[in-house]
Amino acid sequence: MSLPADHQQNRPAPKPARELYRQLRTQTCAQLWDVEVPRFDQAGAQERIERVGVIRAVSVVFAESGTAPQQAAARAWLRSLLKDPAEKVRRYAMNALPKLGAGSADESELLSLLRTTSSEREQRFLGQALGKIGGTATLDTLPAGAAGSLRHAEQKIKARLARDGQASTVNFSAQLPQFAGVAVHLRGRRGLEEIVAAELQDSPPVRAQFRLVEVHPGLVVLAPLAPFSLADVYRLRCFETVGLALGSVNGTHEAELIERLAGLITSARSRTLLQALTQGAIRYRLEFVGRGHLRAAVRQLAERAYELCPELLNDPNEAPWTIEIHATDRGARAELVPKLKPDPRLFYRQGDVPAASHPPLAACLAWLAGPGENEVIWDPFCGSGQELIERALLGGVRRVLGTDLSPEALAVSQRNFAAANLSTVRTQFTEADFRDFAQIPGLGPNTATLMITNPPMGMRVRISDLRGLLADLLTVAGTVLQPGGRLVFPNPIRQIAIPPTLELEYSRTVDMGGFDCRLEVYRKPAKRALVR
């Protein structure tokens, strides 16, 4: 897919203004106001144009360190510059005002200028400024059928007013009765897709509502069999994000793709989905997945979609939906992704630690551990406690033990576990090195039925001898586990020696967020009867 380059993103300001701004940027409010502003006001027309960097410096410095009275005085000065004979001075003032928390008086001056100017360039800059500070007065003033930056400003103002009035949210429990033809895309890290698909098959309530269609690296596609809600999808715990497919378009030319994607975003199906699953104004954020910011493409697509359907508002600020654009061999595909913060599956998450597990990975490890009854579970590197909680939520757990070298991590684990409302499960969190398991109450030879952990791998917590650490983990597991007990963990080390007390049952390569690792399941063989 070929999309327009972002020519605006890296366009430099005129060099003299930029250099002057750099010189003045380090000055104080008092220095700028007492020296540079009077010098600018008293200068002739040509010198004022050469020194427009003063305007930018005032807006930035006063916004960062100015008092409320200083900022008010700076805004009044900038409003006066909107009447300057030089368009360049006026444009710099337009750009500067929004940085200082401009209000209705500033909006009024900008609108007065909009009514009188005939310069397309000035209208463009006015549109940009009004899009940041404008309100109902701007919406009442903008001409019908406004185009370009003025239409962009209209959409931004509507989105901001909707956001400030009554924040729109995803209706998590709303049923989608018109489900025919809607594909549900479950995404996650590459290598976990088989576990996501297997979790679906193991969940009768979810399996009754969705049929497994396709499995690709990092993607599982489902087809609904009955009316469903997002809450029904979120019964599954092993995926990362869910997307509702809006469809695909073909095309190679930029304008053609933008037009077809806009039609897809504003189609009857898209509007039906958004209206059924949104409380409040429909606001969305556009994202070209894997293609960088592409601000020009986002703006063109958002403006065209707004032109086709003004009730759909593009808004990058706290929008309840993201519309993801994925490149394909022939064009592009669009998906509607709810932004649920916090993730409802992580209701127990009261705190975190710097090296905590990726939540879907913790759920996948718990699923890999398999069912059990009366389980005694140990996490030697418990961190924030996610693996222990995810396994306990599946049931059949009598006791959990978490150890870590960090008292802060242990405190977080305890808070998270308490919030998970697993009152029937006995808990014990101990500051200890796992290799000293004999000193940990409740641990010893043949005491645990399951060890589940995501050990440190040296990426965020420095490990001097990772191979030795994991070799010790396998050795300890071979002692602490009961016959038939399991060890489940991600292993970044290839060709690690397996002690005779353990057997490797499962190994699957997964993306750990920039590097590959293997999810592995080991089992301690059950005792065999002696042959006489």
The number of angstroms, rounded, from the C-alpha of 10 to the middle of its chain's C-alpha atoms is 25
> Taking a C-beta distance cutoff of 8 angstroms, is the pair 387, 394 a contact?
no
Q: Quick one: pLDDT at residue 463? A: 79
* Structural element, H or E, at residue 187: strand 184-187
Q: Which two tokens stand for residue 502?
A: 């353990």
> Taking a C-beta distance cutoff of 8 angstroms, is the pair 106, 94 a contact?
no
Burial of 475 (0-12, 13-18, 19+ CB in 10 A): middle
- Per-residue confidence of the chain (532 residues) as pLDDT tens digits? 455 445 444 555 446 888 999 999 999 999 999 999 999 999 999 999 999 999 999 999 999 999 999 999 999 999 999 999 999 999 999 999 999 988 899 999 999 999 999 899 999 999 999 999 999 999 999 887 777 788 889 999 999 898 888 778 999 999 998 888 899 999 999 999 999 999 999 999 999 999 999 999 999 999 999 999 999 999 999 999 999 999 999 987 888 999 999 999 999 999 999 999 999 999 999 999 977 667 888 889 999 999 999 999 999 888 999 999 999 888 999 999 999 988 999 999 999 988 778 899 999 999 999 988 999 999 999 999 999 999 999 999 999 999 999 999 999 999 999 999 999 999 999 999 999 999 999 999 999 999 999 998 866 667 789 999 999 999 999 999 999 999 999 999 988 999 999 999 999 999 998 899 999 999 999 875 433 3
Q: Which two tokens stand for residue 234?
A: 């979120």
Return d(Cα 238, Cα 236) in angstroms, integer.
6
The number of angstroms, rounded, from the C-alpha of 486 to the middle of its chain's C-alpha atoms is 34
Q: Quick one: pLDDT at residue 461? A: 65
Residue 462: Cβ within 10 Å count:
8
Residue 99 DSSP label: G
Mapping DSSP to helix (H, G, I), strand (E, B) and coil, where does residue 313 land? strand
Using the structure block, give the residue that is written with the tokens 């059950």.
526
Using the structure block, give the residue that is written with the tokens 């009366």.
374
Q: Quick one: pLDDT at residue 341? A: 86
Return d(Cα 109, Cα 105) in angstroms, integer.
6
> Taking a C-beta distance cutoff of 8 angstroms, is the pair 482, 524 a contact?
yes
Return d(Cα 482, Cα 487) in angstroms, integer.
11
Return d(Cα 524, Cα 487) in angstroms, integer.
8
Q: Determine what percent of the chain falls in helix, strand and coil, rounding each to the nearest 5.
A: 45, 20, 35
The number of angstroms, rounded, from the C-alpha of 375 to the middle of its chain's C-alpha atoms is 35
For 514: left if phi > 0, alpha if psi spans -120 to 50, otherwise beta; the answer is: left
The CATH architecture of the domain made up of 347-523 is: 3-Layer(aba) Sandwich (3.40)
Long-range contact set of residues 413-417: C-beta below 8 Å, sequence gap at least 24 = 413/382, 413/383, 413/384, 413/385, 413/388, 414/385, 415/350, 415/351, 416/348, 416/349, 416/350, 416/351, 416/384, 416/385, 416/386, 416/389, 417/348, 417/385, 417/388, 417/389, 417/392
Residue type present at position 429 = F
3-class secondary structure per residue, 208-254: CCEEEEEEECCEEEEEECCCECHHHHCCCCCCCEEEEEEEEEECCCH
Q: Quick one: pLDDT at residue 8? A: 46
Return d(Cα 37, Cα 66) in angstroms, integer.
15
Dihedral sign computed on CA atoms, order 38, 41, 42, 45: positive
Q: Which two tokens stand for residue 37?
A: 């502003």
> Taking a C-beta distance cutoff of 8 angstroms, is the pair 244, 182 a contact?
yes
> Taking a C-beta distance cutoff of 8 angstroms, is the pair 282, 275 a contact?
yes
HSE (side-chain half, CA atoms, 13 Å) at 379: 36
Q: Quick one: pLDDT at residue 529? A: 43
Return d(Cα 386, Cα 393) in angstroms, integer.
10
Return d(Cα 336, Cα 325) in angstroms, integer.
9
Q: Quick one: pLDDT at residue 292? A: 66
Of 123, 131, 129, the residue nearest 59 (C-alpha): 129
pTM, two decimals, is 0.85
Residue 443: Cβ within 10 Å count:
23
CATH 2.130.10.10 given to domain 184-338: no
Fold of the CATH domain 15-165: Leucine-rich Repeat Variant (1.25.10)
Terminal CA-CA length for the chain: 71
Domain ranges for the chain, please list them: 15-165, 184-338, 347-523
